[in-house]
Every structure is written in structure tokens, then in C-alpha cells.
């Protein structure tokens, strides 16, 4: 698929898939770090121009869109990558299938508008309906994006992907800020996302040679659809679960509580969700190449999760203890009720980091049925718990309910991923979560008391907490985590050595 004139990105004999994964993660992480500062600042600027209720309209439109689009065109790419040896033969049929699905989902989004306006009658109908009409374009754009994105992922072209995604994300962030400043209100959360998908599609199509594709074949498309149906159903339920808190809050508590939850979730999930998602993008095609060696596949999966836990859990705890100084220094009074919600969602991230790579592993194993059952069970369990939490305490109640569900769900799915191995890995799966909590609870417990003491001294204490205490405590926790397992130590040391070598060369 990739242009033969470009340098191959497949691993050489001297380079393992693990090294490729590490390199790919590094490129994705580099573009994320660059955009992280810009995105974080942009969220705060947007919060200045938007009220919680206006923010609630935006996230409610996105949540409704996730319910309306029950088939995701990009999921066709996951099925395609699961057949790496037949990629070229299946590609054209997969692309046609994705476009058919995209057009159908565009129609479904438009059909959902009157239904959404009926259930969410407290939301301004022109805004909610208009934003859903804009979002109807997105499935068609994702259908065009599917094939070039899949080709680059299968070719392990992470450097090119990172450069494109980084620039597009930066442009979307700036567009969000400009839209909010010009009075776009809830549109500043929705329109830039649609524009970003279109921009990614244009850039990716320029990176891929499509001259060798076979013609569209209805029989091949039917074969792909049978696998896609399970994968898409599971992905759909997952998308609904991710937005379920917003969907429930919109009905039970109205736009204000919905806006509070949506805003703090966006901030709290920034770090871990992007790291975990990007690693999942890197890992799935690599796992797919290891289908004939399930033990090696599971060992690589567990290693990636151990390394993720060593970084993501300390970041989650750091966010939780810094909530009060962060909100009081940088946000208006209208957002102060969201402080405890932010703390709960931050702690929840100490579990949800494992979801993205786990889903990638199940897809690579072609265990779409297992993926589907896991998501159905979580959805059925979540609905009554979320409803009860929203009824009791609004955004805070549903945040606690959500954290409780994910604390059980993610260790379960990590264990499910290891079931393809002939060996038992139950203890290793549980240790991914237990080990970092045993390290972080005492370290961050002491840091939290110090932050509370510093905050009593006004803005100076809050600044000291954000600039010194939080980062220092997170680094100490990660350093301690480095000694809890050889995989973590080897990987972190390798990243540090590689970074130092590049700095020396540039110096």
C-alpha cells in the first residue's frame, strides 16, 4: 500500500516488534506532548467564554451522535488490519463497505435530531439540532479516512502519522479557541472536530499509493461485514458507555450538571486517555502480526500495560491532589463546584488507562465476540448504577458510579486478553493495577496533605503546589514504580537513554 519510494517502516531482522512499538509510541507521545500544553490552555480559554450549560449542549450533541452512529466506518479498518497478509486484496472492498456504512450513519444522525430534541427538552433546540446536523457529515469523512489510515498503521508508519495528527490537532485546537472567542458557544466543541477529520483524510490520502488496489467485490465486502458486525457492535456499545454519563445526566439533571461533568472529564482524561489510545493504535497491528504466537502476543500486551500503569496511575493521582489549586487559580467561580467531580474522575483514570490497549489486543486476536460480550455486560450494569448516582448527587454522583464500574471492568478485560495464551496470567493481570496503587496511595496521601497546607497561604501556595509539589510527587512515584518490575525499568531506562542520545547528537 505504502509508496515504494518511501523508506520501509517494517522491522528489520535486528529490530524487534517491541522496539518498533516503543519507537512508534515515542513519536505519538512527542506530538501529544507538543499539543498537550496548547490543548490544556485552550480548554481553559474556552471555559472562560462558555458557561457550564453551554458546555453541556456541546457534549450532549457529541453524546447523542455516538448513540445515533451505531456502525463506525473506522472499525472496518480494525477488521482489515486483522488480516495483514490479505490487506491489498481486501482493501478496495473494505473502502467501499466503509463508505456505504458512512452514508447510512449520516442519515441516522439526521433522523436522531427530533428524537434527541424530545428527550432533552431542556436544551436549546436550535443549538442541539444544528450541531447534530453538522456532525452528520463526520461518518462520511471517516469512511474516506479509513483506508489510508489502516495502510499507514499496518505499515507501522508512526512518524508520518504523528506529524499529521499533531499538526491537525493543533489546528483544531486553535479553531476551537477562535470559535469560542467569536461567540460560537457550543459550536466550538463540535465544529473543529469535524474539520479535523476532514483534514486528516486529505493528508493521509497523500501518503498512500492506491494504484495496486483490487476492485470492489460484493462477496469480499460481505465477508468483511460479518467480522465487522461483531467488532462494530462492540465498538458502538463502548462509544455509548463512554458517553453514558452525559446521556443520563442530560435526562436526569439538565444542562448545567451535564456541562460540569463534560468539562472536568475532558480535562481529567486528557493525559491518560491520549497516551493509552495512542499506544493502542501502535500495538494493534503489531499484535496482529503475532497471531501465530499467542504467548508472545500476551507477554507483549502485559508488558505494555505494566509500563502504562507505571506512568498513568501516578499522573492520575497527581491530577486528583492538584484539583483545588488548579481550579481556584485558573477558572472562574462558575466552575468551582466541579472540583470534587474532577478529583473522582482523575482517580478513575487510574483504571481506564488499560481499556484502549485491551480493546486493541482483543481486535488483533479477532476475538470480536469476547469484546462484544464484555461491553454488553458493562452497559447493562452501568445503566441503573449511573441513573442512581445522577439522581442522588448529579455530576458528582455519576462520577463516583462511573469510577466504581471501571474499577471492576478494566482488570476483567485485561485478564480476558490473556485467555488466548496457553499459560495462566491471572495474577499478572491483577498486579498491573494493585502494584501502582500500593506505591501511589501513601506517596500521594502525604502530598495531598502538603497541598492543602500550601493552599491556606493563598495564590503563592497554590502556584507552589502546581509547579513543584505535583510534578515532583509524580516523578517520585514513577521512579519508585521503576523498581517494581524489570519490564518497567528496562522500558523507562530505554526511553531515557534514547532521549539523552538524541539530545547529545543535536548538541
Upper half-sphere CA count for residue 1 (Cβ side, 13 Å):
29
CA end-to-end distance (rounded Å), the chain = 37
Over 70: is that where the pLDDT of 430 sits? yes
Q: Report the share of the chain in percent with pLDDT over 90.
A: 43
Calculate the CA 39 to chain-centre distance. Answer: 15
Over 50: is that where the pLDDT of 17 sits? no
pLDDT-derived band at 318 (thresholds 50, 70, 90) equals very high
C-alpha span between 483 and 478 (Å, rounded): 9
Over 80: is that where the pLDDT of 209 sits? no
**Structure confidence at residue 78 (pLDDT):** 79
pLDDT digits (tens, 9 = 90+) for 160-197: 777 787 788 888 989 999 999 999 999 999 999 999 99
Q: How many CB atoms lie within 10 A of CB 7?
A: 7
Q: 3-state class of 121 per DSSP?
A: coil
**Structure confidence at residue 11 (pLDDT):** 42
Do 157 and 207 contact (CB within 8 A), yes or no? yes
C-alpha span between 93 and 216 (Å, rounded): 4
pLDDT digits (tens, 9 = 90+) for 104-114: 999 999 999 99
- Among the ranges given (256-265, 410-419, 476-485, 494-503), the one the predictor scored with the smallest mean pLDDT: 494-503
Buried/exposed code over 60-98 (b: 16+ C-beta within 10 A; e: otherwise): bbbbbbbbbbbbbbbbbbbbbbbbeeebeebbbbbbbbb
At 208, phi and psi to the nearest 5? -125, 135
Over 70: is that where the pLDDT of 330 sits? yes
**Could you tell me the CA-to-CA distances from 56 to 120, 135, 178 in Å, in that order?**
11, 16, 19
At 123, phi and psi to the nearest 5? -90, 145
C-alpha span between 126 and 343 (Å, rounded): 34
Q: Report the share of the chain in percent with pLDDT over 70.
A: 83
Q: 3-state class of 391 per DSSP?
A: helix
pLDDT-derived band at 158 (thresholds 50, 70, 90) equals low
pLDDT-derived band at 9 (thresholds 50, 70, 90) equals very low
pLDDT-derived band at 4 (thresholds 50, 70, 90) equals very low
Q: 3-state class of 143 per DSSP?
A: helix
- CA quadruple 260, 261, 267, 268: dihedral sign: positive
C-alpha span between 299 and 286 (Å, rounded): 13
Q: What is the mean pLDDT of residues 259-269?
A: 89
pLDDT-derived band at 305 (thresholds 50, 70, 90) equals confident
**Structure confidence at residue 498 (pLDDT):** 62
**Structure confidence at residue 14 (pLDDT):** 38
Upper half-sphere CA count for residue 500 (Cβ side, 13 Å):
6
C-alpha span between 271 and 349 (Å, rounded): 9
pLDDT digits (tens, 9 = 90+) for 336-358: 999 999 999 999 999 998 888 88
C-alpha span between 41 and 305 (Å, rounded): 29
At 318, phi and psi to the nearest 5? -65, -40
C-alpha span between 26 and 454 (Å, rounded): 35
pLDDT digits (tens, 9 = 90+) for 81-95: 777 777 778 888 888
Residue 152 is given by DSSP the state H
Can you read off the three cell numbers belonging to residue 176?
Answer: 476551537
**Could you tell me the CA-to-CA distances from 253 to 53, 389, 481 in Å, in that order?**
11, 11, 40
Q: Which of 29-43, 369-383, 387-401 is most confident?
A: 387-401
**Structure confidence at residue 310 (pLDDT):** 87
Dihedral (Cα; 74, 418, 276, 21), 10-degree rounding: -90
**Could you tell me the CA-to-CA distances from 416 to 324, 374, 409, 412, 429 in Å, in that order?**
37, 9, 11, 6, 9
Higher pLDDT, 115 or 82: 115
Q: pTM for this one?
A: 0.78
Of 393, 230, 228, 366, the C-alpha closest to 288 is: 366
C-alpha span between 438 and 435 (Å, rounded): 5
pLDDT-derived band at 43 (thresholds 50, 70, 90) equals confident
Can you read off the three cell numbers belonging to residue 327?
Answer: 481550579
- Among the ranges given (226-235, 395-404, 468-477), the one the predictor scored with the smallest mean pLDDT: 226-235
Q: What is the mean pLDDT of residues 314-332?
A: 91
Amino acid at each position: 500500500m505504502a509508496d515504494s519510494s518511501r523508506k520501509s517502516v517494517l522491522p528489520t531482522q535486528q529490530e524487534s516488534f517491541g522496539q518498533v512499538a516503543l519507537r512508534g509510541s515515542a513519536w505519538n507521545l512527542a506530538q501529544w506532548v507538543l499539543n498537550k500544553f496548547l490543548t490544556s490552555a485552550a480548554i481553559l480559554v474556552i471555559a472562560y467564554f462558555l458557561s457550564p450549560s453551554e458546555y453541556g449542549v456541546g457534549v450532549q450533541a457529541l453524546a447523542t451522535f455516538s448513540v445515533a452512529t451505531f456502525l463506525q466506518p473506522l472499525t472496518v479498518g480494525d477488521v482489515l488490519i486483522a488480516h495483514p497478509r490479505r490487506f491489498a486484496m481486501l482493501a478496495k472492498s473494505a473502502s467501499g463497505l466503509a463508505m456505504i456504512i458512512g452514508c447510512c450513519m449520516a442519515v441516522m444522525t439526521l433522523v436522531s435530531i427530533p428524537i434527541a430534541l424530545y428527550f432533552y427538552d431542556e436544551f436549546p433546540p436550535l443549538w442541539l439540532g444544528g450541531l447534530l446536523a453538522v456532525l452528520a457529515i463526520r461518518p462520511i469523512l471517516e469512511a474516506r479516512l479509513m483506508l489510508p489510515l489502516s495502510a499507514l498503521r499496518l505499515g507501522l508508519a508512526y512518524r508520518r502519522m504523528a506529524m499529521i495528527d499533531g499538526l491537525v490537532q493543533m489546528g483544531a485546537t486553535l479553531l476551537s479557541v477562535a470559535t469560542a472567542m467569536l461567540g460560537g458557544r457550543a459550536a466550538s466543541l463540535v465544529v473543529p472536530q469535524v474539520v479535523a477529520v476532514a483534514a486528516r483524510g486529505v493528508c493521509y490520502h497523500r501518503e498512500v499509493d492506491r494504484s495496486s488496489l483490487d476492485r470492489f467485490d460484493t462477496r469480499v465486502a460481505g465477508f468483511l461485514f460479518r467480522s465487522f458486525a461483531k467488532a462494530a457492535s462492540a465498538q458502538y456499545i463502548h462509544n455509548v458507555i463512554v458517553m453514558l454519563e452525559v446521556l443520563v445526566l442530560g435526562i436526569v439533571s439538565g444542562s448545567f450538571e451535564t456541562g460540569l461533568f463534560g468539562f472536568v472529564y475532558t480535562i481529567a482524561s486528557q493525559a491518560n486517555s491520549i497516551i493509552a489510545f495512542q499506544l493502542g493504535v501502535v500495538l494493534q497491528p503489531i499484535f496482529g502480526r503475532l497471531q501465530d504466537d499467542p504467548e508472545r502476543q500476551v507477554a507483549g500486551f502485559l508488558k505494555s500495560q505494566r509500563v502504562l500503569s507505571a506512568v498513568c496511575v501516578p499522573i492520575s493521582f497527581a491530577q486528583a491532589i492538584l484539583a483545588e489549586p488548579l481550579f481556584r487559580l485558573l477558572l472562574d467561580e462558575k466552575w468551582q463546584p466541579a472540583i470534587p467531580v474532577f478529583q473522582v474522575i482523575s482517580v478513575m483514570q487510574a483504571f481506564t488507562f488499560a481499556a484502549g490497549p485491551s480493546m486493541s489486543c482483543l481486535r488483533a486476536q479477532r476475538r470480536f465476540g469476547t469484546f462484544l460480550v464484555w461491553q454488553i455486560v458493562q452497559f447493562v450494569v452501568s445503566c441503573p448504577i449511573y441513573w442512581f448516582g445522577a439522581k442522588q448527587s448529579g455530576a458528582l454522583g455519576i462520577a463516583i458510579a462511573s469510577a466504581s464500574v471501571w474499577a471492576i471492568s478494566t482488570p476483567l478485560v485485561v485478564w480476558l486478553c490473556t485467555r488466548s495464551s496457553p499459560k495462566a496470567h491471572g495474577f499478572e493481570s491483577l498486579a498491573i493495577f494493585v502494584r501502582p496503587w500500593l506505591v501511589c496511595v501513601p506517596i500521594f496521601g502525604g502530598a495531598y496533605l502538603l497541598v492543602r497546607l500550601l493552599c491556606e497561604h493563598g495564590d503563592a501556595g497554590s502556584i507552589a503546589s502546581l509547579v513543584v509539589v505535583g510534578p515532583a510527587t509524580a516523578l517520585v512515584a514513577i521512579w519508585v514504580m521503576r523498581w517494581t518490575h524489570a519490564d518497567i525499568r528496562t522500558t523507562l531506562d530505554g526511553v531515557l537513554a534514547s532521549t539523552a542520545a538524541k539530545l547529545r547528537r543535536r548538541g
